[in-house]
Structure 1
Amino acid sequence: MTAHTVEYIRYRVPEQQSAEFLAAHRRAATRLAAAPQCVDYELARAEDDFEHYILRVTWTSTRDHVEGFRSSDLFPAYAAEVRPYAEQVEESRHYKPTAVRGTGAATPTLYAWAGGAEAFSRLTDVFYAKVVEDDLLAPLFADLPAEHARHVGLWLAEVFGGPAAYSETQGGHSHMVARHAGLGITEPQRRRWVELVQDAADEAGLPTDAEFRSAFLAYVEWGTRLAVRFSAPGATPPAPQPVPKWTWGAAPPYPG
Structure 2
Amino acid sequence: MTVEYIRYRIDGARAAAFEAAYARAAEPLARAEQCLDFELSRCTEAPDHYVLRIRWTSTEEHLEGFRKGEHFAAFFAEIKPYVADIQEMRHYEPTAVAGRGGAHPTLYDWAGGAEALERWFTRFYEHVDADPLLAPLFADKHPDHARHVAAWLGEVFGGPRTYSTRYGGHRGMATHHLRRGIDEARRRRWVALLTDTADEVGLPADPEFRAVLAYYLEWGTRMAVLYSGPTPPPVLEAPVPRWDWGLTPPYRG
TM-score range, shorter chain: 0.7 to 0.9
- Is 1:15 aligned to 2:9, yes or no? no
The code of the aligned residue for 1:209 comes to D
Letter in 1 for 2:171: S
Question: Who is 2:33 aligned against?
Answer: 36
Using structure 2 for the length normalisation, give the TM-score.
0.88
1:57 aligns with 2:54: yes
Shift of 1:91: 0.5
Of 24, 47, 54, the residue aligned with 1:27 is: 24
Check the 8 A contact 1:180/1:230 in 2, yes or no. Answer: yes
Instruction: Provide the residue aligned with 2:219 in structure 1.
Output: 222
Match of 2:85 among 70, 83, 88: 88
CA distance in 2 between partners of 1:219 and 1:83 (Å):
42
In 1, the alpha carbon distance for the partners of 2:237 and 2:75 equals 44
Letter in 1 for 2:127: K
- Aligned residue type for 1:176: M
Please say if residues 226 and 233 of structure 2, whose CA atoms lie closer than 8 Å, have aligned partners that are also in contact.
no
Q: Distance in 2 between matches of 1:127 and 1:194?
A: 11
- Structure 1 vs Structure 2: percent identity of aligned residues? 55
Q: Which runs of 5+ in 1 are unaligned?
A: none
> Separation in 2 of the partners of 1:40 and 1:237?
29
CA distance, structure 1, for counterparts of residue 152 and residue 70 of structure 2: 48
Q: Find 1:128's aligned residue among 125, 129, 137.
A: 125
CA distance 1:210–1:175, change in 2 (3 Å): same
Gaps of 5+ in 2: none
Does residue 97 of the first structure (1) align with residue 94 of the second (2)?
Answer: yes
Q: How far is the alpha carbon of 1:67 from its aligned partner? A: 3.0
In structure 2, the residue matched to 1:245 is 242
CA RMSD of aligned residues (A): 2.3
User: Of residues 125, 138, 143 in structure 1, which corresponds to 2:140?
Assistant: 143
Q: Specify whether residues 236 and 41 from structure 1 end up closer, same or farther in structure 2 by C-alpha distance, changes over 3 A only.
A: closer
- The change in CA–CA distance for 1:68 and 1:100 in structure 2 (over 3 A counts) is same
Q: How many Å separate the matches in 2 of 1:124 and 1:89? A: 55
Q: CA deviation at 1:165?
A: 3.2
**Structure 1: distance between partners of 2:183 and 2:53:** 44
Q: Is the 8 A contact 1:42 1:55 kept in 2?
A: yes
Q: Note closer, same or farther for the CA distance 1:28–1:161 as it changes in structure 2 (3 Å cut).
A: closer
Q: CA–CA distance in 2 between the matches of 1:187 and 1:41?
A: 38
| 3-state SS in 1 of match to 2:101 | coil
2: CA distance, partners of 1:82 / 1:254: 31
Does the 8 Å contact 1:178/1:237 carry over to 2? no
In the TM superposition, residue 254 of structure 1 has moved relative to its aligned partner by: 8.2
| Letter of the 1:48 counterpart | E
Aligned AA (1:54)? V
Distance 1:73 1:210, change over 3 A: same
Which secondary structure state, in structure 1, belongs to the residue aligned with residue 67 of structure 2? helix
Tell me, in whole angstroms, the C-alpha distance in 2 between the residues paired with 1:178 and 1:72.
Answer: 40
The count of residues paired between Structure 1 and Structure 2 equals 253
One-letter identity of the residue aligned with 1:24: A
The answer to whether the aligner puts 1:211 opposite 2:208 as a matched pair is yes
